[in-house]
Structure 1
Amino acid sequence: MHADEPERLVTRILVTSTLAGDGKSVVATGIASALRATGATVRLVRIDDGDSAAADARQLARVNGVRGASEPVSASEIPSDTDHTVVEALEAEGIEADRTVLVVRHGEADDDTVSRALSTQPDAVVVNGVPEHGGPAARQRITDLGGNAAASIPQDRHLAAPTVRDIAPSIEGELSGDEELFDEASRDLVIGPVSAHEGMDYFRKYPDKTLITRHDRIDIALGALDYEPLCLILAGGEPTLPYVAQRAERESFALITTSLTTLEAVEAIGPLYGDSAFIGERKLARAIELVADNVPTAALV
């Protein structure tokens, strides 16, 4: 390093949580991406400490420009070859870090559980999944329990949405089409309108969608395909024309056919929202946006 060059700070940031599923991967992903945007080199790793660690590591390895590992690592093998290392772990015990971020999912952990987590004295707390207008109250709760609430992240329908692969078995469906989309999720589940003509503005209103319509309403299905849905669900049986299935084989969308009625399928898919893994490029991009908009990462280094 030349004498006139500023010295870079090397920091290890540990992201942990009160409970599994609180959103550690979402926050760790966003912090790593924000630090990389400053021009620093960043490594992002997942500690091998739970059933979801392997899937989490694969998702973290997708972050653009960040050095990741597609497999979890042990706490004793965390590399220190970058300006910043972001470490995701279920618990802080036994992991050395310069900064610790505690993630708390809104409405999940009781006060005693949160207080025990705060006793480790994290440098910042991120409250995840906060309802609209609920940020001030969520942050005040952490303050009242003795913590520092750095930020709150709002509830997000896209992060809560099930993947195409999750949807298919829930509706006893047969899945085909673009396999690269099977682990992706769309923000909205849209029910087909009465007519294709009325559907044009309707489809345009929901750019990030999975559409469900009756198998015999090919006009609705074809109209929706012009607006690039992630997934098309045909309810009540096989399509009356093979053309839709043929398009699914050569175009970028997933197709699910099910014998359930439209209403039965919608009722089966509904409970999947909020109980879906953090997986896929679309959720990754959304997590980075949410953290960039809501978490002051500069204060962590």
Structure 2
Amino acid sequence: MPLLSVISDKPSSGKTGVAATVARNLAYSGQRIWLVRGESVGAGNAVADARWFGSLEFAPGSAATPVAANVIPTPSGDEIVVAELDQPLDRADASIFVARGLPSEERVAEIEPLAVAAVDVPSFVAKAAPDEIGGAPLFVIEEDRTLAGFSVSEAKAILQAETLVEGDGLDLTCDHLVIAPIGSDAGQPYLSRFESKAVVVRFDKTDQHLAALATEPACLILTGGRRPSDYLFDAASARGVPVLLSRTDTENTVIALEGIFDDTRFHGERKLERMSEILGSSGLVERVVAELGC
């Protein structure tokens, strides 16, 4: 059975999401999948991506650490290897080229991929996008709030925040970054408008903490660097909501997080489900199946 490579020229182009989604759809169609993240030169998310691949139930036995391209095993039996790589692999049976935005026709023609996936494309560009580029069919994935969402762990890293409550884990993703309003009475109706949100609120505003928790946030980010009321620990733990503590005030915490949506990792069930919805009706997986004969 075949080896499918998912490649891009630049980091953060979206190939992790495309690789995982194609692998999942193939697995759900009855194929046996081994998902692998190739080694990457320099700083990047290869280690974290591989760890996530290794945890995915639809691809049991997938490597949880990056693998050198030259030692990626040849598929055997009824297995399909889906490999996320930084460079084209000559021995791949087919490849998907992923770009953030529309790639150049010359580059696509040079690679000769089975298909091109253009990710994070503005709506007005997507409407005018061609069906093919550089001789390969083009699949456009428009800008999407869920796909751009940040994880609690990414917010923690940017802020160098302390974890006060682990909750259901720090890999939950947030589509919105919301500052709690001044009054708790207004807080709950206002915050309820946002799904999958991180709420930023000062450490000593216990009434606002409780109002925010009632709207089921993905996490609370407390500001001011001081310990909140003990009551918050019990309430957040009971709801499974992670709580972070930022060392700075609310204004500077929000400033530090301003660019968090610009370069987020693809991981987590919500992003995978959303990408599956988008690609599921695109015809990309069907093209892969036809090309690989599986």
CA distance in 2, matches of 1:93, 1:37: 26
Counterparts of residues 159-238 of structure 1 (less than 5 Å): 159-178=147-166, 181-238=169-226
Name the SS for the 1:73 alignment partner. coil
Mark the runs of 5 or more structure 1 residues left unpaired by the alignment. 1-9
Q: 1:59 offset after TM fit, Å?
A: 1.7
CA distance in 2, matches of 1:229, 1:92: 41
Q: 1:227 offset after TM fit, Å?
A: 2.3
Q: 1:70 offset after TM fit, Å?
A: 1.1
| Corresponding letter in the other structure for 2:101 | H
- Count of residue pairs the alignment pairs up: 284
Provide the residue aligned with 1:39 in structure 2: 30
TM-score (norm 1): 0.83
Give the counterpart of 1:90 among 81, 86, 93: 86
CA distance in 1, matches of 2:275, 2:78: 23
Q: 1:129 offset after TM fit, Å?
A: 0.8
Name the SS for the 1:45 alignment partner. strand
Q: Does 1:155 align with 2:149?
A: no
Query: Which whole-Å deviations, capped at 9, do the CAs of 1:50-92 have from their partners, x for residues lacking one?
Result: 4543322222223332232212334343233434322211111
Query: Which whole-Å deviations, capped at 9, do the CAs of 1:125-162 have from their partners, x for residues lacking one?
Result: 0101111242133446x62xx23233111222333333
State which drifts further: 210-219 or 159-168: 159-168
Name the SS for the 2:174 alignment partner. coil
Query: Which whole-Å deviations, capped at 9, do the CAs of 1:86-140 have from their partners, x for residues lacking one?
Result: 221111143331x211101116x6x4xx623431211110101111242133446
Q: Does 1:29 align with 2:28?
A: no
Q: 1:202 offset after TM fit, Å?
A: 2.4
Provide the residue aligned with 1:100 in structure 2: 95
Provide the residue aligned with 1:244 in structure 2: 232
CA RMSD of aligned residues (A): 2.5
Q: 1:237 offset after TM fit, Å?
A: 4.1
State which drifts further: 264-273 or 170-179: 170-179
Give the counterpart of 1:56 among 41, 49, 65: 49
CA distance in 2, matches of 1:94, 1:104: 19
TM-score (norm 2): 0.85
Q: 1:211 offset after TM fit, Å?
A: 0.6
Provide the residue aligned with 1:69 in structure 2: 63
| Corresponding letter in the other structure for 2:49 | D
Question: Is the Cα contact below 8 Å between 1:199 and 1:220 reproduced in 2?
Answer: yes
Name the SS for the 1:270 alignment partner. coil
Question: Is the Cα contact below 8 Å between 2:167 and 2:237 reproduced in 1?
Answer: no
Q: Does 1:135 align with 2:122?
A: no
CA distance in 2, matches of 1:237, 1:72: 37
Query: Which whole-Å deviations, capped at 9, do the CAs of 1:245-267 have from their partners, x for residues lacking one?
Result: 34345541111223422222111
Name the SS for the 2:150 alignment partner. coil
CA distance in 2, matches of 1:117, 1:286: 26
Name the SS for the 2:257 alignment partner. helix
Q: 1:219 offset after TM fit, Å?
A: 1.2
Name the SS for the 1:264 alignment partner. helix
